[in-house]
């Protein structure tokens, strides 16, 4: 937080065109990694910034050891621009199963927490997704810049069939909105595990239904799946039929 709004020019770099990393990203990941690894003997860490430097770290998710996933600053573009929409995401996975997830909002000092089978909570209070509604009354998030021109055109054509589309450029904030019932649905096209393992579990434990668009259950190692989340299975099917209608 001392770096928010105070980044010097040398504190922001571009990993790839349009993909930023700041001094806060690297410092937070470096701080969290040994702390988390020390909580469970034999556990491993896969952080976003370390994996950017060494993509082979993703293979740790294929083993039997517990793995901590870290997104040190989710919403880096917002953070770097001084926009107060960002968070820190941590998940614990083992053998492809998401065991627990945490999404922290450092601006509001609130943390979403979920353990598999234990519900989703914020500061000890259980949270739940929005109630299903008529399609015209449901709001959610998806980006038109999906990398798939055909899908982007289809979503743009059908966007007026729902109440509103909200784009925050921050999965941490999107999952807060989903889990606390402020939005109904979300689409994520690039599913890096540090971005979505915790959020997917939290959304499920809050009563929601999330699947890849082809119907498969979410898996942390599938980084190219299109993950769509809705209040329940019926809403998921209704929304996907509506938003992807020809």
Residue 194 to residue 25: CA distance in whole angstroms: 13
Query: How many structural domains compose the chain?
Result: 2
Domain boundary (75, 103, 126) is at 126
25 and 82 inside one domain: yes
Q: What is residue 144's predicted lDDT score, i.e. its pLDDT? A: 62
184 and 78 inside one domain: no
Residue 118 to residue 136: CA distance in whole angstroms: 32
Structural domain includes residue 2? no
- Convert 4-39 to b/e letters by CB count within 10 Å (16 or more is b): beebeeebbeeeeeeebbbebbbebbeebbeebbee
99 and 13 inside one domain: yes
Q: What distances in angstroms separate CA 5 from CA 2, 15, 29, one per listed residue?
A: 8, 21, 19
Structural domain harbouring 84: 9-126
Please give the chain's pLDDT, 246 residues, in tens: 999 999 998 999 999 888 899 999 999 999 999 999 999 999 999 999 999 999 999 999 999 999 999 999 999 999 999 999 999 999 999 999 999 999 999 999 999 999 999 999 999 999 999 999 999 999 999 876 656 788 889 999 999 999 999 999 999 999 999 999 999 999 999 899 999 999 999 999 999 999 999 999 999 999 999 999 999 999 999 999 999 998
141 and 122 inside one domain: no
Q: 């627990």: which residue's tokens?
A: 100
Q: What is residue 186's predicted lDDT score, i.e. its pLDDT? A: 98
Q: What is residue 18's predicted lDDT score, i.e. its pLDDT? A: 82
Residue 63 to residue 158: CA distance in whole angstroms: 42
Q: What is residue 193's predicted lDDT score, i.e. its pLDDT? A: 98
The CATH number given to whatever domain includes residue 207 is: 3.40.190.80
Torsion angle of alpha carbons 183, 157, 76, 84, nearest 10°? -50
Structural domain includes residue 3? no
Structural domain includes residue 74? yes
Structural domain includes residue 1? no
15 and 114 inside one domain: yes
54 and 142 inside one domain: no
Domain boundary (105, 126, 147) is at 126
Do 40 and 34 contact (CB within 8 A), yes or no?
no
The CATH number given to whatever domain includes residue 109 is: 3.30.540.10
183 and 220 inside one domain: yes
Q: Name the pTM for this structure.
A: 0.96
159 and 97 inside one domain: no
Helix 193-205 vs helix 171-179: crossing angle, to nearest 10: 0
Residue 113 to residue 104: CA distance in whole angstroms: 9
Q: What are phi and psi of 128, to 5 degrees?
A: -145, 150
99 and 159 inside one domain: no
Structural domain includes residue 179? yes
139 and 191 inside one domain: yes
Structural domain includes residue 43? yes
169 and 187 inside one domain: yes
Pairing relation of β-strands 227-230 and 209-212?
Answer: antiparallel
- 1 is written with which tokens? 């937080």
Q: What is residue 145's predicted lDDT score, i.e. its pLDDT? A: 62
112 and 203 inside one domain: no
């Amino acid at each position: 937080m001392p770096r928010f709004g105070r980044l010097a020019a040398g504190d922001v770099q571009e990993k790839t065109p349009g993909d930023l990393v700041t001094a806060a990203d690297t410092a937070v990941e470096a701080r969290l990694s040994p702390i988390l690894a020390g909580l469970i003997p034999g556990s491993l860490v896969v952080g976003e910034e370390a994996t950017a430097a060494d993509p082979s770290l993703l293979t740790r998710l294929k083993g039997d050891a517990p793995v901590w996933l870290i997104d040190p600053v989710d919403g880096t573009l917002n953070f770097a621009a001084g926009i107060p929409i960002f968070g820190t995401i941590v998940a614990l996975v083992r053998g492809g199963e998401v065991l627990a997830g945490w999404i922290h909002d450092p601006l509001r000092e609130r943390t979403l927490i979920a353990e598999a089978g234990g519900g989703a909570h914020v500061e000890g209070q259980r949270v739940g997704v929005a109630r299903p509604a008529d399609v015209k009354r449901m709001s959610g998030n998806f980006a038109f810049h999906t990398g798939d021109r055909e899908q982007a055109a289809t979503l743009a054509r059908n966007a007026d069939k729902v109440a509103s589309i909200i784009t925050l450029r921050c999965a941490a904030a999107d999952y807060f909105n989903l889990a606390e019932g402020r939005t109904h649905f979300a689409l994520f096209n690039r599913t890096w595990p540090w971005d979505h393992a915790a959020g997917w579990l939290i959304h499920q434990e809050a009563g929601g239904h999330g699947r890849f668009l082809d119907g498969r259950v979410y898996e942390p190692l599938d980084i190219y799946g299109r993950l769509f989340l809705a209040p329940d299975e019926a809403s998921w099917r209704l929304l996907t039929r509506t938003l992807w209608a020809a």
